[in-house]
Protein backbone atom coordinates (compact mmCIF):
# COMPACT_ATOMS: atom_id res chain seq x y z
CA UNK A 1 0.00 0.00 0.00
CA UNK A 2 1.10 3.52 -0.76
CA UNK A 3 0.03 6.12 1.79
CA UNK A 4 0.02 9.91 1.49
CA UNK A 5 -1.17 12.43 4.07
CA UNK A 6 -2.89 15.51 2.68
CA UNK A 7 -3.85 18.67 4.54
CA UNK A 8 -7.01 20.32 3.15
CA UNK A 9 -6.71 23.97 2.23
CA UNK A 10 -9.37 26.60 2.83
CA UNK A 11 -10.65 26.62 -0.75
CA UNK A 12 -11.07 22.83 -0.88
CA UNK A 13 -14.33 23.30 0.99
CA UNK A 14 -17.43 24.41 -0.91
CA UNK A 15 -20.66 26.14 0.05
CA UNK A 16 -21.88 23.00 1.81
CA UNK A 17 -18.88 23.32 4.13
CA UNK A 18 -17.54 19.92 3.23
CA UNK A 19 -14.65 19.04 0.89
CA UNK A 20 -15.83 19.62 -2.69
CA UNK A 21 -16.13 16.45 -4.77
CA UNK A 22 -13.77 17.79 -7.42
CA UNK A 23 -10.93 18.02 -4.95
CA UNK A 24 -10.72 14.24 -4.80
CA UNK A 25 -9.44 13.76 -8.36
CA UNK A 26 -6.60 16.13 -7.46
CA UNK A 27 -5.70 14.34 -4.23
CA UNK A 28 -5.82 10.94 -5.91
CA UNK A 29 -3.65 12.27 -8.75
CA UNK A 30 -1.06 13.49 -6.24
CA UNK A 31 -1.08 10.15 -4.45
CA UNK A 32 -0.31 8.37 -7.74
CA UNK A 33 3.06 10.15 -8.01
CA UNK A 34 5.04 7.09 -6.81
CA UNK A 35 3.34 4.97 -9.48
CA UNK A 36 4.13 7.53 -12.17
CA UNK A 37 7.76 7.42 -10.96
CA UNK A 38 7.94 3.70 -11.74
CA UNK A 39 7.42 4.44 -15.41
CA UNK A 40 9.12 7.84 -15.49
CA UNK A 41 11.94 7.85 -12.92
CA UNK A 42 13.19 11.26 -14.05
CA UNK A 43 9.71 12.77 -14.48
CA UNK A 44 10.48 14.05 -18.00
CA UNK A 45 7.41 15.10 -20.01
CA UNK A 46 9.28 14.68 -23.32
CA UNK A 47 9.37 10.92 -22.80
CA UNK A 48 6.24 10.52 -20.66
CA UNK A 49 4.49 7.25 -21.35
CA UNK A 50 1.27 7.08 -19.34
CA UNK A 51 -2.23 8.29 -20.14
CA UNK A 52 -5.49 7.93 -18.23
CA UNK A 53 -8.42 6.10 -19.81
CA UNK A 54 -10.87 6.22 -16.92
CA UNK A 55 -11.38 7.60 -13.42
CA UNK A 56 -14.29 7.04 -11.02
CA UNK A 57 -15.13 8.06 -7.47
CA UNK A 58 -17.67 6.79 -4.95
CA UNK A 59 -18.46 9.31 -2.25
CA UNK A 60 -19.27 7.35 0.89
CA UNK A 61 -18.93 9.94 3.65
CA UNK A 62 -18.44 13.69 3.72
CA UNK A 63 -15.00 15.09 4.52
CA UNK A 64 -14.26 18.36 6.29
CA UNK A 65 -11.63 21.08 6.54
CA UNK A 66 -10.39 20.49 10.05
CA UNK A 67 -8.53 17.18 9.77
CA UNK A 68 -5.81 15.68 7.59
CA UNK A 69 -6.78 13.09 5.00
CA UNK A 70 -4.92 9.89 4.22
CA UNK A 71 -4.95 8.65 0.63
CA UNK A 72 -4.23 4.92 0.34
CA UNK A 73 -3.34 3.53 -3.07
CA UNK A 74 -3.02 0.01 -4.45
CA UNK A 75 -2.60 -1.57 -7.87
CA UNK A 76 -5.76 -3.62 -8.39
CA UNK A 77 -5.12 -5.19 -11.78
CA UNK A 78 -2.33 -5.33 -14.35
CA UNK A 79 -3.34 -6.09 -17.92
CA UNK A 80 -1.34 -6.19 -21.13
CA UNK A 81 -1.03 -2.46 -21.72
CA UNK A 82 -3.03 -0.98 -18.85
CA UNK A 83 -3.39 -1.24 -15.10
CA UNK A 84 -5.91 -0.19 -12.47
CA UNK A 85 -5.07 1.91 -9.42
CA UNK A 86 -7.54 1.61 -6.55
CA UNK A 87 -7.55 4.44 -4.01
CA UNK A 88 -9.28 5.35 -0.79
CA UNK A 89 -9.53 8.62 1.16
CA UNK A 90 -9.72 8.30 4.94
CA UNK A 91 -10.44 11.03 7.46
CA UNK A 92 -10.75 10.59 11.21
CA UNK A 93 -10.97 6.82 10.95
CA UNK A 94 -13.74 6.93 8.37
CA UNK A 95 -13.48 5.66 4.77
CA UNK A 96 -14.90 8.64 2.87
CA UNK A 97 -14.13 8.15 -0.83
CA UNK A 98 -12.96 5.27 -2.99
CA UNK A 99 -12.10 5.26 -6.65
CA UNK A 100 -10.36 3.60 -9.56
CA UNK A 101 -8.06 4.92 -12.25
CA UNK A 102 -7.27 3.05 -15.46
CA UNK A 103 -3.76 3.98 -16.58
CA UNK A 104 -2.50 3.03 -20.06
CA UNK A 105 1.14 2.58 -21.08
CA UNK A 106 1.01 4.89 -24.09
CA UNK A 107 3.24 5.85 -26.99
CA UNK A 108 2.34 9.54 -27.44
CA UNK A 109 4.22 9.85 -30.73
CA UNK A 110 2.33 7.03 -32.45
CA UNK A 111 -0.78 7.49 -30.32
CA UNK A 112 -1.17 3.85 -29.41
CA UNK A 113 -0.95 1.74 -26.27
CA UNK A 114 2.09 -0.46 -25.70
CA UNK A 115 2.78 -3.54 -23.60
CA UNK A 116 3.85 -2.86 -20.01
CA UNK A 117 7.50 -4.00 -19.72
CA UNK A 118 8.27 -6.77 -17.23
CA UNK A 119 10.34 -4.55 -14.95
CA UNK A 120 7.53 -2.02 -14.51
CA UNK A 121 5.05 -4.88 -14.18
CA UNK A 122 7.01 -6.32 -11.27
CA UNK A 123 7.25 -2.93 -9.57
CA UNK A 124 3.48 -2.45 -9.90
CA UNK A 125 2.81 -5.85 -8.33
CA UNK A 126 4.60 -4.75 -5.17
CA UNK A 127 1.51 -2.63 -4.45
CA UNK A 128 -1.06 -5.22 -5.52
CA UNK A 129 -4.33 -5.75 -3.71
CA UNK A 130 -7.15 -7.90 -5.03
CA UNK A 131 -10.52 -6.16 -5.15
CA UNK A 132 -13.58 -8.04 -3.92
CA UNK A 133 -15.83 -7.34 -6.89
Q: Which residues contact 87 (CB under 8 A, 6 or more apart)?
A: 28, 31, 32, 71, 72, 73, 74, 98, 99, 100, 101
The least distance separating a copy of itself from the CB of residue 102, rounded to whole angstroms, comes to 9
Least Å distance between CB 121 and a copy of itself? 22
d(CA 87, CA 97): 8
The dihedral sign for the CA sequence 119, 120, 121, 122: positive
Smallest gap from Cβ 60 to a copy of itself, in A, equals: 9
Residue ranges that bind a copy of itself, judged by CB under 8 A: 7, 9-11, 13-17, 20-23, 25-26, 29-30, 32-33, 36, 42-43, 45, 48, 51-59, 62, 65-66, 108
Question: What distance separates the 2 farthest-apart alpha carbons in the chain?
Answer: 47
Residue 17 CB, nearest approach to a copy of itself (Å): 5
Nearer to a copy of itself, 42 or 130 (CB): 42
In the bound state with a copy of itself, the residue whose beta carbon lies nearer, of 75 and 103, is: 103
Is 71:18 a contact under the CB 8 Å cutoff? no
Amino acid sequence: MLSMIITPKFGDVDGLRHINNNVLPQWFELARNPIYRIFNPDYKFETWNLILAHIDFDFVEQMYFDQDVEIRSWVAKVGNSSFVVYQEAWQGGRLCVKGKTVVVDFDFENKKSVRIPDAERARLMEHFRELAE
